[in-house]
Structures are given as C-alpha cells and as structure tokens.
Amino acid sequence: MKHYEPKKEANFLANHNGLDWPTRFYTYWLPALHTNGLIPEDTHVRLNLSEPINPAVKYDLTVYEGLYRLLKPQVLFSHFLSHVVHTHKTGTWNGHWGKYTELCAPCGFKYDYIIKLETMSEDLEYVFQKLGIPSNPHLRKNKSTRKKDFSKYFRYYRWISKELKREVFETFKDDLEMFEYTLPKNFL
C-alpha cells in the first residue's frame, strides 16, 4: 500500500489547478472526522493548541499536518454518508452534495426542459428537435443508458447500515421522486 504524503499531494494539486491539500482537509476531511466523533478530545493538547479542534476554524498548515500525523484518518464511505446527512440536518451542506430541490429550485422556476446526465444524448436530441436545432445523433458522446442497470452502483452501500441508508433516503427523497430515480429492491 502506498504511503500518503500531504506535501506531495499539495505540490501535485498546486500544479494541476485542484484544491490544495490543506483546503481539502479543512473543507471535507476535518468536518467529516468531527461529525463522526473521530477526533479525540485531547487532540488539541497533543498539538499544543489552547482550544479543542473546531472544524469551523481555519488553522495553519502545520495543524492540519499534525492532525494527519496523529490521527492517520480514514474517512470511510459510512462516515461520509453520516456527515452528508448531518450537514443537511444542520443546514450546513456543501454544494457538492446539495439536493437539486435546493440548488436548482425546480418548484420555484418553470423549466422548459430537464436533462439527466444518464440520458443526456437522448434528452439533448429531444430538446434540439423541439427547438428546431439540427443535431447529428451519430456524434453522441455517451451511449443510451435508458435500459442500463444502475443497481451496480449501489454496491458501495453493501456494508452501510439500514438505518443510515434510510437517513440518506429521507435526505434525498424529494430529489429521487422528482427526477424519477428508483432504488433497488431491498435497498431499505
């Protein structure tokens, strides 16, 4: 297994227009660790800080590196899901996992067309036809997925508790219903 090195990642990201390691740690890892109770109470003492670690505070890079060295954190998929549910309950969700019903306000605007990423080529062809815009269906970049079985993507939920799956479902229920997504049998 490859050893993770924050400085190497920071250097890579700095040269590839990505978020730098401290920003990613502050934005994603630290809040998820905090939500899941994975930061021991005495961590601040071990890092020579006067106050307990607060995910809302932006620390110096040395603090994040120290946290990483001390905790050797592993944010599991279940931790991430718990964090996502928590952020929706507290109204502190990140746009990366926001609900379409909140981000796009489909009930507040009259959209003429809604295109799903999974069926984008077919949906765009329909919109082009309606708008009288010529299209070449042979230039499709994605193949039709109308008949595709998406249940394989749910394999990540294999080890997730029924309770957490229910919480995730309740969090995103409106989106699932509004955009006609279905869950595999026995998911909940």
Tell me what pLDDT residue 90 has.
93
Tell me what pLDDT residue 18 has.
61
With beta carbons less than 8 A apart as the criterion, state whether 171 and 99 touch. Answer: yes
Tell me what pLDDT residue 137 has.
60
Each of the 188 residues of the chain gets a pLDDT tens digit; together they read: 445 566 665 555 555 446 677 888 888 889 999 999 999 999 999 999 999 999 999 999 999 999 999 999 888 999 999 999 999 999 989 888 999 888 887 778 888 988 888 888 888 889 999 998 887 766 555 555 555 666 778 888 999 999 999 999 999 999 999 888 888 888 88
Tell me what pLDDT residue 108 has.
82
Domain range annotation of the chain? 6-75, 99-178
Tell me what pLDDT residue 1 has.
43
Q: How many angstroms from the chain centroid is the CA of residue 169? A: 15
Tell me what pLDDT residue 16 has.
47
Tell me what pLDDT residue 138 has.
61
With beta carbons less than 8 A apart as the criterion, state whether 121 and 144 touch. Answer: yes
With beta carbons less than 8 A apart as the criterion, state whether 115 and 127 touch. Answer: yes
Residues with Cβ within 8 Å of 30's Cβ and at least 6 positions away in sequence, in order, are 53, 55, 64, 67
- As a whole number of Å, the CA-based R_g of the chain is 21
66-78 in b/e form (b: 16+ CB < 10 A) is bbbeebebebeee
Local structure of residue 104 (DSSP, 8 states): T
pLDDT tens digit string along 111-136? 898 888 888 888 888 999 999 888 77
What gap in Å lies between CA 183 and CA 93, rounded to an integer?
Answer: 23
Tell me what pLDDT residue 55 has.
92
